[in-house]
Amino acid sequence: MSAPNVAASAPATEDGGADSEALQVLRRIFGYDAFRGSQQEVVEHVIGGGDALVLMPTGGGKSLCYQIPALVRSGVGVVISPLIALMQDQVDALRALGVRAGFLNSSQSLDERQLVEAEFAAGELDLLYLAPERLRVEATVRLLKRGTISLFAIDEAHCVAQWGHDFRPDYLALSALHEHWPEVPRIALTATATEATHAEITSRLALADARHFVASFDRPNIQYRIAPKDEPRKQLLHLLRTEHQGDAGIVYCLSRASVEKTAAYLVERGVEALPYHAGLDSRVRSENQSRFLREEGLVMVATIAFGMGIDKPDVRFVAHLDLPKSVEGYYQETGRAGRDGLPSTAWLAYGFQDVVQQRKMIETSEGDQAHRRRLAAHVDAMLALCETVECRRVQLLDYFGQKSEPCGNCDTCLVPPSSWDGTVAAQKFLSTVVRLQRERGQKFGATQITDILMGRKTAKVIQFDHDALSVFGVGAELSEAEWRSVARQLLAQRLVAVEGEYGTLVLTEDSGDVLGGRRSVALRRDPEKAARAARPAKASGGTGRKAAPADLPAELLPVFDRLRAWRAATAKEQGVPAYVVFHDATLREIAATAPTTLAELASVSGVGENKLATYGEQILELLATPPAEPAG
């Protein structure tokens, strides 16, 4: 009665088992040659009816882990996802592959919803995307009971964890899936996986009996860099101009105001940038998101409200202008760069003020003492990452419980910082704080203390007669930037604390040990110049602006450009993002292999059956037509 499932039309493999059927679907529908990493194991396990918890970094290939079992098993695969704004694109991408997909969420009209519901009940869907809040509606449960469900996929499963950074109360209700449909396999997936989050997902979704697949969290193509903050917008602009001209990227800022300011700053300087934050009108927000996904080379300046589930494959950089609240969040955000595996940059600027701001936000946050302690622990781990003299990647992976070797592709590997014995500097700094307080009954911020130590007779120093202090000028051996770094690190190590709205400095419980010589202080010396990538130079294309894919020889660029132009026109006509038509990597392979027959084209990675049928002839024709002669 129901329309045939896509996989049902695959050549019979009665004795070949699920294994080969899954592989056939991978090749035929998705156009990929082989599974990656643990994909095959996961797919087979779920096809066999087992529950699974999949921890895989962003870009690791989680989607296929549930899409293929949904195509192979009979019934509809139900995907729970919080990403309402992206469901349309996800469904479009699947439809472009010939997969029968639909979604149900609050953005739809009643008519649209009823249409999808009818398709579901008639078994005419392979995949149904659902917002979690839909499941709280009794009618949705009734609807689901009317159809056959092949599996439940719980995407972004970390949303169930309160320990994490994306908690969604609606996710807590997902534990009920198992009670309603005990025989339907569940696969939960996330790219966030500290041990604490992992444990919380397991217990809240009742996945203790599931098989757990933990992939390596390394993203080797992303270069991690953390720089001391010094006019962050200028630093950002420099990064864009010198390394990411014309590239698509995301810039994260903590506040809405700084999102607006930064976007305007970039636009004034000729960078195409758009703002995104929760305070914007929802129409503007979705328009900006859609432009970012559809157009090439746009920079999105956003709060962390932006990005979850954004599967644009060619985001070339993610920049943070403020300190992220946790390593988990940071890794998730930076992971949005380079899903296509090509070289990408994760760059963060961080300074004294960031620490002040974060600690203040925690102090004034709602929630009990335990909650605040948890937030503080998150920030401290982030600070440790910023101040490390070791490989950033080793630290990051260690945070996720994975051991690794120095990577050679992060700033500390490329330009190793040294550590130095900052005990005396710390003592000078702290005793200035003490003297101001004991001798004068005053509290000041880091700038004034630095001026005093450096022996600067600024207006404010003279006004308060601080040049008469015995510590005046005792720190002339360090530069201002160095004192700034000392202040930042003392704060990070909780050897000094900030108070009140002016950020005045006070001692902490541990300061006494440093002042009394019972504790030494190791500090990081910020490298003189920021690390620059040791990357293959980008070949410059005909336009001189667009970055060429790193491994494409110059003579193939014109073909690649024509393919891109064709893709842009095709995507526009269909109202979908360009990557829904073909990924860059696929166009590159087409340019490089210059297929002349449909069969040759079919062997390119990313060209499946449906796309071959839809676009094959057009592509071959484009390749066979000589480029227009330039005029003159």
Q: Is 36 in the site for ligand ADP (CB under 6 A)?
A: yes
- Choose the contact partner of 393 out of Zn ion, ligand ADP, none; CB within 5 to 8 A by kind: Zn ion
Residue 258: name its binding partner from Zn ion, ligand ADP, none (Cβ under 5 to 8 Å by kind): none
State the Cα torsion 379-383-386-390 to the nearest 10°.
Answer: -120
What residues numbered 497-536 form the site for ligand ADP, per CB under 6 A?
none
Identity of the residue numbered 378:
H
CA distances from 1 to 115, 148, 184, 504 (A): 18, 12, 21, 74
**Tokens (6 digits) for 48:** 């066999």
Q: Least distance (Å) from ligand ADP to the CB of residue 336?
A: 9
Residue matched to tokens 């909780």: 494
Residue 413 interaction partner, one of Zn ion, ligand ADP, none, beta carbon < 5-8 Å per kind = Zn ion
222 scored as a contact of Zn ion (CB under 5 A) = no
Which residues have CB under 8 Å from 476's CB, separation 6+?
453, 454, 455
Pick from 47, 56, 157, 552: which binds ligand ADP (CB under 6 A)?
A: 56
Beta bridge partners of 39: none
Q: Work out whether 35 is an interface residue with ligand ADP (CB under 6 A).
A: yes
Tell me the C-alpha distance between 117 and 109, whole Å. Answer: 12
Query: Which of 5, 22, 51, 60 touches ligand ADP (CB under 6 A)?
Result: 60
Q: For residue 621, with 0-12 CB atoms within 10 Å meaning exposed, 13-18 middle and 19 or more buried, which class applies? A: exposed
* 307 binding ligand ADP? (CB under 6 A): no
Please give the size of the binding site for Zn ion, defined by CB under 5 A: 5
CB of 213 to ligand ADP, least distance (A): 12
Binding pattern for the stretch 556-595 against ligand ADP, x by CB under 6 A and - elsewhere:
---------------------------x------------
Candidates 407, 514, 580, 607: give the one binding Zn ion (CB under 5 A). 407
* Chosen residue from 100, 225, 393, 428 binding Zn ion by CB under 5 A: 393
Answer yes or no whether residue 347 interacts with ligand ADP by CB under 6 A.
Answer: no
Q: Minimum Å distance from CB 396 to Zn ion?
A: 9
For residue 531, state whether it binds Zn ion (rule: CB under 5 A): no
Mind spelling out the 3-state secondary structure of 145-177?
A: HHCCEEEEEECCHHHHCCCCCCCCHHHHHHHHH
Q: Is 311 in the site for ligand ADP (CB under 6 A)?
A: yes
CA 265 to chain centre: 23
> What whole-number distance in Å separates Cα of residue 45 and Cα of residue 52?
8
With contacts defined by CB under 6 A, name the span among 62-70, 127-135, 192-200, 272-280 that binds ligand ADP. Answer: 62-70
Told to check if 552 binds Zn ion by CB under 5 A, we report no
Helix (H) or strand (E) holding 504: strand 504-507
DSSP-derived 3-state class of residue 21: helix
| Closest of 91, 21, 88 to residue 63, by C-alpha | 91
The H-or-E segment that residue 505 falls in is strand 504-507
Structure tokens at 521: 């202080």
Q: Which is nearer to ligand ADP, 58 or 192 (CB)?
A: 58
Residue numbers 216-235 binding ligand ADP by CB under 6 A: none
- Report if residue 523 touches Zn ion, rule: CB under 5 A: no
Q: Does 143 bind ligand ADP (CB under 6 A)?
A: no
Nearest distance from C-beta of residue 516 to ligand ADP, angstroms: 51
Tell me the C-alpha distance between 53 and 187, whole Å.
6
Of the candidates 524, 444, 432, 428, which has an alpha carbon nearest to the alpha carbon of residue 481?
524
- Contacting residue, 28, 320, 325, 339, with ligand ADP by CB under 6 A: 339
Token output for 91: 């469904």
- Least Cβ distance, residue 390 to Zn ion (angstroms): 8
400 binds ligand ADP (CB under 6 A): no
Residues 6+ apart with CB under 8 A from 370: none
Distance of CA 154 to the CA centre of its chain: 19
Q: Which stretch binds ligand ADP (CB under 6 A): 10-18, 52-60, 201-209, 234-242?
A: 52-60
Environment class of 472 (CB within 10 Å of its CB; exposed 0-12, middle 13-18, buried 19+): buried
Residue choice 128, 188, 293, 391 for contact with Zn ion (CB under 5 A): 391
Does 64 bind ligand ADP (CB under 6 A)? Our answer is yes
Binding site for Zn ion (CB under 5 A): 391, 393, 407, 410, 413
Binding site for ligand ADP (CB under 6 A): 32, 35-36, 39, 56, 58-64, 311, 313, 339, 583, 605
